Amino acid sequence: MDKAALSKEILKLVGGEENVSQVTHCMTRLRFNLNDNKRADKEALQKTPGVMGVMINGGQFQVIIGNDVPVVYNELVAGMSKSPDQKAAAADSAEKKKQNPLSKFMDFISGIFTPILPAITGAGMIKGIVALLVALGWMTTENSTYIILSAIGDGAFYFLPIVLAVSAARKLGSNMYIGAAIGAAILHPTITALLSTGEPVTFASLPVVAATYSSSVIPIVIAIWLASYVEKAVDKVTHASLKLIVVPTVTLLVIVPLTLIAIGPLGVIIGNGLTGGINWLFDNTGLLAGLLIGGTMSLLIITGMHYALIPIMIASIAQLGYDYIIPLMMVANFAQGGATFGVYLKSKNKKLKSLALSTSITAMMGITEPAMYGVNMRFKKPFIAALIGGAAGGAFLSLFKVKAFVIGGLAGLSGIPMVLGSTFVLSLIGFAIGIVVAAMVTYILGFEDVPEEQVQATPVAAPAADPVAAPAANEQHMVTEQIFSPITGEVKPLSAVNDPAFSEEIMGKGLAIQPAEGRVVSPVNGTVFSLSKSGHAIGLVSDNGAEMLIHIGIDTVKLKGLHFSPKVTAGTKVAVGDLLMEFDLAEIEKAGYSTITPVIITNIQQYDSIQSAGQASVKTKDLLYTVKA
């Protein structure tokens, strides 16, 4: 199908121009904001030659094209009566009028808690390891090593208000260090001792209510939210020469006493109420709580609503030493893996069986996106089976009050240390129930199996060459080639990228890097064949024919070039180590975007395999992986 015909087919299958509120494109995909996603024929689009995949992410209906996306976009725009700019202006105006409070709240919660999860996870894993060592009799609680390890594990939880203050201030665009100072003040040993005496305490004749702020969540979040308004208001009316002194002083003098007098006690009451309410639900409703939460957890994850549970889980672990929700998250993930395994057992298609088995394994490990989006939701009935499996396993976990004792690891096999404790064996039984029920229901309900020629859930055929696409590689001359790291940071598998286009290897294969600095250099000797308008993605072709994509962050196209500074243009010849791009890592993360960067080979079908260099972290120009012909 030529590009003009493909663009017309895509426009028809997304519901026609009247259903398109806005359309843009990034390096690999067309990004539609549709008036009604249900009017788009997703299945027909997935089967359309030239379309690599379809996904809905962040409300956008995304059609993955590959290197040909600029040409398809231009053809699509040429066939529309209104330009994308006109549609974008109308869409922005409508969006401002909508102002969905729930979406804003969920974005706020996820933006606060997602960045702190590594600290909480690391501390939680250490607590789990210490508990295991004590349970096995390899360490005693009087041992100095135990005391030090316990402090390492408890530190992030005890000083949680300070950690949260920094994250919340960053999300709200206020000063992180003023936020940290507010958290430190309410945790100061003198104030802690003063409030624990039981004697009446006042501040300027106003009563200070006794409350415990260590390990608390809600008081500091409310305090930093209010502090952001105070800080900005004071900043607005203060002369530039005095801002350094006046703004932090006034903010601290207003917010810290206000927190101790009113915000803190109210936040503690709300936090205790939420934690107590969840625990009451599990203690008094038997299997019903687990049935409902386990059965709907995957739906909550899809919509992002699960972020609202994070503060409750953290508060429960910090205050009570256990949590009921984490095991339900785990069983929901195991059920997704079980349903995909059911597809593996039922399908007669060899390629689909291979896809189902591999995604089942990743789901069991706690990375559910490939299984959920690539198989279960695609065939519908397996997803229903996964919900049923999650409900069955959740009911068992709830009935026997199975608990998690730490937060640490993904909600899968790698997170098993989280449930080490008095209910450990019961947790394993519950997880097994989720897997088995989901697999059995998938097998019994069945699904519409696909013929061999239609099985490619993740087609990776190289797009045809055109003036703005990568030069077509000659398969007869492909050679083994070393790919060097374009970025300094931690090496991650593509499965860690929260975007099915990369995690399911739709666009190609390779590795991802979590950047430690905002510089991108060339990983090969070759040519820059494309650079996205927003600067977030760079396409290169090596002198030996390897076509590459470096995609800085996820959904960073929405920044429209903000915080990106390209140093090359399309057509630039480059050598390994030449500077391609600089970007403001802190500002991009502050804006709420993941900066994990896939570095992939897009014409991977012309190679036999990719072999990682095996490094956990890399610097620019270190060997990242080798593509073998």
Q: Which of the residues are catalytic?
A: 26, 551
How far is residue 426 CA from its own chain's centroid? 30
Residues pairing with 600 in the sheet: 510, 549
Strands 526-531 and 547-551, by their bridges, are unpaired
Rounded to the nearest 5 percent, the helix, strand and coil shares of the chain are: 55, 15, 30
Torsion sign across C-alpha atoms 494, 498, 500, 501: negative
Give the DSSP H or E segment for 586: helix 585-590
| Cβ 470 vs Cβ 547: under 8 Å | yes
Q: Give the whole-angstrom CA distance, residue 512 versus residue 553.
A: 10
| Cβ 458 vs Cβ 356: under 8 Å | no
How far is residue 149 CA from its own chain's centroid? 29
Q: Give the whole-angstrom CA distance, residue 521 versus residue 73.
A: 28
Token pair for residue 60? 């956008």
Nearest to 432 by CA among 365, 345, 338: 338
422 to each of 16, 132, 400, 402, 522, how far by Cα in Å? Answer: 58, 11, 11, 9, 53
Residue owning tokens 């014409």: 603
| Cβ 274 vs Cβ 315: under 8 Å | yes
| Cβ 540 vs Cβ 548: under 8 Å | yes
Q: Give the whole-angstrom CA distance, residue 243 versus residue 10.
A: 54
How many C-beta atoms surround the C-beta of residue 132 within 10 A? 14
355 to each of 66, 211, 498, 575, how far by Cα in Å? Answer: 21, 53, 18, 37
Q: Give the whole-angstrom CA distance, residue 562 versus residue 564.
A: 6
| Cβ 315 vs Cβ 271: under 8 Å | yes
Give the DSSP H or E segment for 426: helix 424-445
Q: Give the whole-angstrom CA distance, residue 473 versus residue 135.
A: 59
Give the DSSP H or E segment for 617: strand 617-618
Nearest to 259 by CA among 227, 214, 230: 227
